[in-house]
Amino acid sequence: MEDLIIRFVKHLIRITTKHNSFYVTLGLCRLLYNYTTSETAEIYNLVLQDPLRMRDDHYYRSRKKLLMEEMKTRFGNLIRTERGFRRAERFQPDKASGVFVGLVKDCLLRFTPWQSTCVLPRELDPKRNVVSPLMFDGGDPDAEHEIELNRIHSLTHPTCFERLTAALGLDPPDQRLELPQFFVSGGGPRAAATRFNPTELSEGELNAIKQHLDKHSAHRNSYSNGRLICLIDQARASVFEPGAEANISLDLEADSELLEIRSVLAEDEIPVAVCPIAYDKSGIARATSLAVLERGQRFSFEIKPRSFEDTTVAAEISISYQSPRQRVLFGLLPNFAVWIGRLRTLPDGRVSALTADLPVRPRRLVLGLAMLLVAIFAAGWWGYVHLKRSQVPEPLLTQNHEAKAKQDSPFVSPPATVQSQSSETPRNAQRRQPQTEDAESRKLQPDTTGPGEPAEETRGSRLRSPATSLGSAKRVYVDPLGDDDFSRQLRELLIAKLKSGNRFMVVTNRDEADAVFKPSASRTLNESGSIALELVDASGQTIWSFTSDKHGRKFSSAAEASEKIVQALLIGADRDGRKH
């Protein structure tokens, strides 16, 4: 039973800390302790120190359901669920949870982030104290990492968590501990009292460990070719043979954490390289990394997130291997350039090399020069062939059609800007390619601009392919709907309801959206409940609209309005998707 409790607490901390402090609060307060949703919200708001970023009850319940699914996947039939107050699902509780209070505290103390410190004052008053180490000023997002570490420490560290509950006037954690009942057969002996104080290793055990590590290290450093096994979270995913293929691509699921590459030596699998999988707010983060062995062998990793449409595959990772021999040419070319730069011209016009300053041996220099000439010849032949292909004249009808489409295109080339490397993704680069439209089809589309007025840009100055229909729009952005309280509240509720569903993804960057919610040009939002919204694509065309007149009445609250808007949007998207 104690072993299962330790694993339960450990897995709960692992799956929540890889997200953020909100998930840590939710996991501890709702799955480990028996605090209500409103009490959990109070604890999180105290840790967050920012009233503008509070979550609604629906968000808490939906994320709790996801955490419970992950815990059920981990423990299977060892735990069971039941319906409690308001039909809320929870784990069947162990009535003897109070016996294990000390064990749970020991676990939380060891699972608290290492090298983090206590930042809460001893006397914490939510109405008077402002805990600056937990506050984020909204500037550089990277600056919040350290603040998030302080928040997670305050939640997982038993003493700090007791200060939070005491400051809010809630029951102490010891009284709210509610472990799940584990359905196991048999009652084995209790663990030894030295569970958390293991004995020192003997001299023989240390020597055995050293020999094992030396053998693995020698094989890893001498590896040059042979079969490699790729594992994702300890599960075999593929076999990679660098001699037969240059690289390999694998799919990553949403909860993947670690990629490991192993080499086979006799019957033993020896770890060669590992690549941790990082996450950001949208899921698996885009990343590139390099693992270099002692003799120069290199493993390159590139992680590319996929669109949210695929519910099982969240990203793709590409793996490539480069041996020291494959890197000879890349090392020779710079040396060859240095040698060329050291050539000197004699008085009689002859060219002589300063052989005393040659950076490489003559044999390697000749080899590098030969490979360089072969590469130049291959590149020239490839360019010649593709140039001949590109000179094949197209039919006159096609040329006239493209010229006419280009003349009628609503896109205007943006001014040249310098893009940062982090924002330059293949997906963005593809979207920036100008798209031509059929001139006849454009005549059927309404013109929403006035005479002499330029077409409105829906996001920045980048060129994007228009969504063309409501069914194809996936990533949406919600513009500010007005300056009054009703408009601001409606925008926040609209964003929350779109996020809680799985049909649309709400993005925080307007440039990344397929379509944008904005107030209608002919009407405005106001506190009387009259609403007129429209959804426009990248070309500025309205692909969906909503007005309160269609529903025959005005709405009494922003919550009611947001519910009707999202409901109508989903119905329209499903209808349009079936039509196409």
**How far is 534 from 547, CA to CA, in rounded Å?**
9
Structural domains for the chain: 2-176 (no CATH), 211-322 (no CATH), 327-388 (no CATH), 466-579 (3.30.160)
Report how far residue 527's alpha carbon sits from residue 413's, in angstroms, rounded to the nearest whole number: 40
CB atoms within 10 A of CB 569: 24
C-alpha–C-alpha distance, residues 556 and 247, integer Å: 59
Beta-carbon contacts of residue 279 (< 8 Å; ≥ 6 apart)? 18, 19, 285
Q: Look-up: residue for tokens 């670690």?
A: 258
To 10 degrees, what angle do helices 485-500 and 57-75 make?
20
Whether the full predicted model's pTM is greater than 0.75, yes or no, is no
What length is written for the chain?
580
- Give the C-alpha distances (Å, rounded to integers) separating 40 from 20, 26, 296, 496: 15, 7, 52, 19
Is 579 in contact with 471 (CB distance < 8 Å)?
Answer: yes
At position 449, the amino acid (one-letter code) is T
Q: Which residues pair with 506 in a beta bridge?
A: 476
Q: In a structure prediction context, what are the per-residue pLDDT tens digits for the chain, which is 580 residues long? A: 888 999 999 999 999 998 889 999 999 999 999 999 999 999 999 988 887 777 788 888 888 998 999 899 889 899 998 887 777 888 999 988 988 999 999 999 999 998 888 988 888 888 777 888 888 877 777 778 888 999 999 999 999 999 999 999 999 999 999 999 998 876 666 666 677 787 888 999 999 999 988 888 887 777 767 788 899 988 888 888 876 777 888 888 877 889 998 887 767 788 888 999 888 767 788 889 888 877 777 888 999 988 655 456 788 899 888 876 655 445 555 555 555 555 544 445 444 444 444 444 555 666 677 777 888 878 887 777 666 655 544 443 333 444 444 444 333 333 333 333 333 443 444 444 434 334 333 433 444 344 444 443 333 333 444 445 787 888 888 888 887 888 888 888 888 888 887 788 888 888 788 888 888 643 344 445 578 888 888 777 888 888 876 555 567 788 888 888 888 888 888 777 766 5
Query: Could you report how far apart the first and last alpha carbons of the chain are, in Å?
Result: 55
Q: With contact defined as beta carbons under 8 Å apart, do 471 and 573 qualify? A: yes
Contacts of residue 450, defined as CB under 8 A and 6 or more positions apart, other chains included, come to: none
Residue with tokens 């990203």: 315
Interatomic CA distance for residues 309 and 217, integer angstroms: 42
- Tell me phi and psi for residue 422, to 5 degrees: -70, -30
**Which tokens go with 81?**
């669920």
- Kindly give, in sequence order, each residue whose CB lies less than 8 Å from that of residue 540, ignoring residues fewer than 6 positions away: 410, 448, 449, 455, 456, 457, 458
Measured CA to CA, the distance from residue 402 to residue 407 in angstroms comes to: 8
C-alpha distances in Å from residue 72, one per residue of 21, 31, 78, 80, 81: 22, 12, 9, 8, 9
**In 204-309, beta strands by DSSP E:** 228-232, 235-240, 247-253, 258-265, 268-276, 279-280, 283-284, 287-292, 298-305
DSSP H or E segment with residue 478: strand 475-478
- From CA 468, how far away is CA 471, in angstroms rounded? 9
Number of H helices and E strands in the chain, helices first, is 16, 19
Structure tokens at 180: 């799940």
Integer CA distances (angstroms), 235 to 253, 256, 262, 376, 517, in order: 12, 11, 12, 44, 43
C-alpha–C-alpha distance, residues 257 and 297, integer Å? 24
> Helices 485-500 and 558-579, interaxial angle, to 10°?
40
Per the listing, tokens 């008085």 go with 347
